[in-house]
Structure 1
Amino acid sequence: MPIWLFVLLAAGFVLYTDDYVIAGILPELAQELGVTEAQAGQLITVFSLTVALAAPVAAVAFARVPRRWLFTGALLVFIAANLAAAFVPSFAVLMALRIIAAGAAASMTPAVFAFAAQHAPPDKVGRYIAVVSLGVTGSIAAGVPIGTWIGGQLGWRVTFAAMAVAGSAVLVAVLAALPRERDAAEPPGLGEQLRTLRRAPISLGLLANCALMTGSMMMLTYLAPFLADTTTAGVNERALAFSLSGLAGIVCIWLGGSASDRWGPDRALAFGIGTITLTMAGLWGLWLIRPAPLSLVIVVGTVWGGMAFWNSPAIQARLHALAGAVAPQALALNTSGTYLGVAAGGAIGGLALSSLGAGSLPLIAAGFGIGAFLLLTLAQRLTPSGADRVASGERG
């Protein structure tokens, strides 16, 4: 695989780490800036919502900008925002800087996936997307812990400075390794873009991704209280469960990309969603016999954690195949749906946990998985025959 693909992996790692890393430095940040930890946590919410709202707008606005220029500009803004955050005088200014950094991430993140898919060999689109997606799981497994350690040892401001340094390293790598393009391909007119994105096979797929993310992130967000209610797990055992889920996610995001190339995105998604639904049923059954054997709960939870990431390359490969020239805009909307799913999962899961108890979480998550499967099935039936052959993995 080309070196530029791993540069894009590094870009994804840095951009996603920048979103999540605040979770690890909330206490110190809140204390120094004179706000509560709950208020400081809104920095994550604002970042996610900004990406969700700005990504599709940026995809249309910058459609004619060559990717090399787009990535350079976005990284320069990202670096400046994080460097300024290291010297920020107040919480309000920090909030504004987080919005600016999120805008840069929104401009670049979907374009990174689209670039990887566009320049991949036809039989390796899923694997190329999976490589870039490893930056997402890597940010959770390594980026956030490293950023948290830096903040704990040297102060939270140094964490932001470290993000600026990391962004600078990615910028140098992009300029050195990214293939040169004279001009970006001329995109369709805005009207044609909107008509394409409104087509049922694409719009239903976008809704399905949002549903999948809602169910997965709801369970991930409240995994700790579920484990506490279902088993006798302590802090160390809960940490082990999260670590194993993250490692499984790294493995399965690659396997999901390979399956998407070999079976086709539709079949890969059917397998992934089916496995997620079965594991949710298994976790609910273990909750019914609580206290359940911890080792069994961790095994089932690890399978679920891995399969939650399995679907990402297939979803994006499917959209890329169906959207054609509008693929960057479709992937931008998919990014929006992902971030909205994260927000919705936290909100719905919180309501379910407080009103129905931890046992309801896997059932509701399974319901979202089934809903996503039904949406994708309907999308497949409404896909024109030629495009359906591409999405299903048949090659002629």
Structure 2
Amino acid sequence: MSVDVRQRARVPAWLLALAFTTFAFATDDYVIAGVLPAISADLGVSEAAGGQLVTVFSLAFALGAPVASVVTATWPRRGLITGALTLFVASNWAAAFAGSYAVLMGLRVLAALAAAAVVPAAYAIATSMAPEGRQGRYLALVMGGLTGSLMLGVPIGTWVGGAFGWPATFGVGGLLGLAALIATRLTLPEPPPGEAMPMGRRLAPLARPRVLVGLLGIVAIVLGSMMLMTYLAPFLRDLAGAGPAELGWIFAMAGLAGLVGGQLGGRAADRWGADRALMAGIAGFTAVMAAFTACWFLRPMALLSLLPLLMVWAAVSWWIPPPAQTRLLAMAGSAAPQALALNSSAVYVGVSGGGALGGLVLDAHGSGWLPAAAAVAELTALALFWTAGRLRA
């Protein structure tokens, strides 16, 4: 193997640091699901209200990311990431001492805005500094921090919260942010500043009806998945008596299943076509939600007997996004780069919507209705993509 080939195959340290940074942000968002009952009980709010901590983080990210990517496009990257990660660390450590729900909610907004400033910059750095022909791989590695958070970050945060209380979970979130700050400062070179894209040009795909409807389909897909994910702790507690210790290893195994499902969904989109792969994923998701609903009438269930269903649920949940995004980009045509940027915001709108609507279902009907509501959301997504495909470009 030549020296040039070895250098191309080696993953640069700065790229790993960016992947760890997205891992820290995603862990901080999703880990609420593992400690939700404890936070709600300690702060004297309902579990549905506690779930809005996920909603507000995701909504602040969704609204802040496109604005931050425009406003900070010409800022020095290292300075931007350093400042935002400092804010992220401070807001997490302050959350560990939050004595009220309102204060904790405000601190979640600050953490989300910090993430919104960094994540678009991380994606831009990965693509601009990648060697020729490796942009996709570099971007995939940075985005892999999202799946990795479910496999490792959320289980660790859940276990810590179960053993030492939910404030310790935010302490761990701050430590992850501090580690990301140190890693990026030590390894990340200063890439050339980007060129600011006017907000009107960045939002141009929204003027295309089929792209707009496709983005709404992305929102519905994520919303359906997160309705159950956000409230998985009360659902499994009510269905099988699961506690924080059990939730930790369930999140770890679900993260692994999701990683496999995402890879299979991407390959299915390439081999079968995006439409067929999307239909297969949503059909599988709906079947699993029907099975969970049936289990509700047989409760209490043994947690081990639910494990196969939980793994299939995680796999099909992550199977769906690759063909959905492939379909969206095909519909966007020449506006594909801008549509891809808006896709990140659509994902977090879905996350926030899942927390909000799931909370309403939980409050009004109990956790047993969450799977049925999630299935309706996924079927709505399928209808939206079907509609988008029949609209004019």
**2:6 equivalent in structure 1:** none
Change (3 A) 1:210 1:92: closer
Q: Is 2:184 aligned against 1:174?
A: yes
Change (3 A) 1:362 1:64: same
Q: 1:346 aligns with which of 340, 358, 363?
A: 358
Aligned 1:119-268 pairs, distance under 5 A: 131-150=141-160, 159-178=169-188, 180-187=190-197, 189-221=198-230, 233-235=240-242, 239=247, 244-260=253-269, 265-268=274-277
**1:277 equivalent in structure 2:** 286
Number of residue pairs matched? Answer: 376
For 2:72 and 2:209, the matched residues in 1 are separated by 25
Conserved 8 A contact 1:253-1:310? yes
**1:308 equivalent in structure 2:** 317
Instruction: Give secondary structure in 1 for the equivalent of 2:320.
Output: helix
Q: Which runs of 5+ in 2 are unaligned?
A: 1-8
Change (3 A) 1:144 1:287: closer
CA drift of 1:330 comes to 0.9
**1:390 equivalent in structure 2:** none
CA drift of 1:238 comes to 7.1
| Structure 1 stretch displaced more, 129-138 or 152-161 | 152-161
**1:49 equivalent in structure 2:** 59
Name the aligned partner's letter for residue 109 of structure 2: I
In the superposition, the TM-score normalised over structure 2's length comes to 0.74
For 2:135 and 2:392, the matched residues in 1 are separated by 20
CA drift of 1:339 comes to 2.5
Conserved 8 A contact 1:228-1:234? yes
Instruction: Give secondary structure in 2 for the equivalent of 1:245.
Output: helix
Name the aligned partner's letter for residue 44 of structure 2: T
Change (3 A) 1:282 1:289: same
CA drift of 1:152 comes to 5.9
**1:98 equivalent in structure 2:** 108
CA drift of 1:242 comes to 5.5
Conserved 8 A contact 2:54-2:230? no
CA drift of 1:123 comes to 8.8
For 1:118 and 1:264, the matched residues in 2 are separated by 29
Superposition CA RMSD, Å:
4.3
- Per-residue CA deviations over 1:356-393 (Å, capped at 9, x if unaligned) read x83x5444333222221121233334475xxxxxxxxx
In the superposition, the TM-score normalised over structure 1's length comes to 0.74
Conserved 8 A contact 1:127-1:261? no
For 1:88 and 1:173, the matched residues in 2 are separated by 28
Conserved 8 A contact 1:43-1:98? yes
Instruction: Give secondary structure in 2 for the equivalent of 1:139.
Output: helix
Conserved 8 A contact 1:126-1:314? no
For 2:242 and 2:164, the matched residues in 1 are separated by 25
For 1:129 and 1:249, the matched residues in 2 are separated by 19
For 1:174 and 1:61, the matched residues in 2 are separated by 21
For 2:246 and 2:164, the matched residues in 1 are separated by 27
Change (3 A) 1:251 1:124: farther
Name the aligned partner's letter for residue 36 of structure 1: G
For 1:151 and 1:225, the matched residues in 2 are separated by 15
Q: 1:336 aligns with which of 339, 344, 348?
A: 348
Name the aligned partner's letter for residue 371 of structure 1: T
CA drift of 1:104 comes to 0.5
- Per-residue CA deviations over 1:227-257 (Å, capped at 9, x if unaligned) read 6887xx4437975765543331132233334
